């Protein structure tokens, strides 16, 4: 099996002011000193991308956006493009997060276009997929997730430019997590889908996200085909985030 470097990404969502840069700096200093196995990224709100990227330049922590528009520029008030994120110093961009799918009505088709935009700009797209509780209860998890993987990933996806994040909607911000068996089942299915479609499907990183905390990270990160984590709430403070990073050592 191909060696995949683990990836741990913090998603700050709509949290973070200039003062929060101190946490990012502290994380970068800790990572520089302790050299974790995992590649590390932080996705702050758009207002902090450029300043965080400048602050962390040359450090082991990369910076990402939380969303991008499909187009490079134009009359789209309030939106930012993948090119703008790249210009601001970003390496990654999250696309298709369930909060955007829900709050902004983003379809798989839109998410795929955003993934394409990320690749066009030279960013790594972190494409999020995941079922709702109703879908899980109806026994539709694998069907839903496979459908999202198929429709949300652009054809030009490679293991180098794309990461898949499995985030069950019902686990995000709730403190609830799937069992390790449930995580293993979905990650294995995603791996199969990737291998069936892409030559380098075995090399894509597949992250787990949804209520990853210091006390459950070791268990979740040990599951087969879990190549790291997309972490929301627990990424805001180094004291919570660091034990998660260490869990993938
Ligand atoms: P959470 O969020 O860790 O706060 O559950 C994860 C995510 O939405 O990426």
210 lines ligand 1 (CB under 6 A): yes
Q: Which atom of ligand 1 is nearest to the CA of 233?
A: 4
96 lines ligand 1 (CB under 6 A): no
pTM: 0.98
pLDDT of residue 3: 83
Cβ neighbors of 87 (< 8 A, separation 6 or more) are none
Cβ neighbors of 17 (< 8 A, separation 6 or more) are 48
Place of tokens 């839903």: 144
CA-based nearest residue to 11, from 41, 47, 49, 55? 41
Confidence class of residue 1 from pLDDT cuts 50, 70 and 90? very low
pLDDT at position 80 over 50: yes
Positive/negative CA dihedral, 126, 186, 8, 66: positive
pLDDT at position 73 over 80: yes
Confidence class of residue 213 from pLDDT cuts 50, 70 and 90? very high
Residue to mutate (ligand 1; options 9, 13, 42, 101; most atoms within 8 A of CB): 13
The CA–CA distances, whole Å, from 31 to 16, 37, 169, 209, 246 equal 20, 10, 30, 21, 10
Q: How far apart are CA 45 and CA 14, in angstroms?
A: 6
């Amino acid at each position: 099996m191909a060696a995949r470097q683990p990836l741990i990404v913090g998603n700050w969502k709509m949290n973070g002011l200039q003062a929060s840069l101190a946490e990012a700096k502290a994380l970068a200093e800790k990572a520089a000193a302790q050299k974790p196995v995992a590649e590390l990224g932080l996705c702050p709100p758009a207002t902090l991308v450029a300043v965080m990227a400048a602050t962390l330049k040359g450090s082991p922590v990369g910076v990402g956006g939380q969303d991008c528009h499909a187009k490079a520029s134009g009359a789209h008030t309030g939106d930012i493009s993948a090119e703008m994120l790249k210009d601001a110093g970003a390496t990654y961009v999250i696309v298709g997060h369930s909060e955007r799918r829900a709050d902004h009505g983003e379809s798989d088709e839109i998410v795929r276009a955003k993934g394409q935009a990320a690749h066009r700009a030279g960013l790594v797209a972190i494409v999020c997929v995941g079922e709702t509780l109703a879908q899980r209860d109806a026994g539709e998890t694998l069907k839903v997730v496979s459908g999202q993987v198929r429709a949300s990933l652009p054809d030009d996806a490679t293991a180098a430019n794309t990461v898949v994040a499995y985030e069950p909607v019902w686990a995000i911000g709730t403190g609830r997590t799937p069992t390790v068996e449930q995580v293993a089942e979905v990650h294995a299915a995603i791996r199969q889908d990737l291998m069936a479609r892409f030559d380098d499907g075995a090399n894509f990183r597949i992250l787990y996200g949804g209520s990853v905390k210091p006390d459950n990270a070791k268990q979740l990160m040990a599951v087969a085909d879990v190549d790291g984590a997309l972490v929301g709430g627990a990424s805001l403070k180094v004291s919570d985030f660091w034990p998660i990073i260490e869990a993938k050592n």
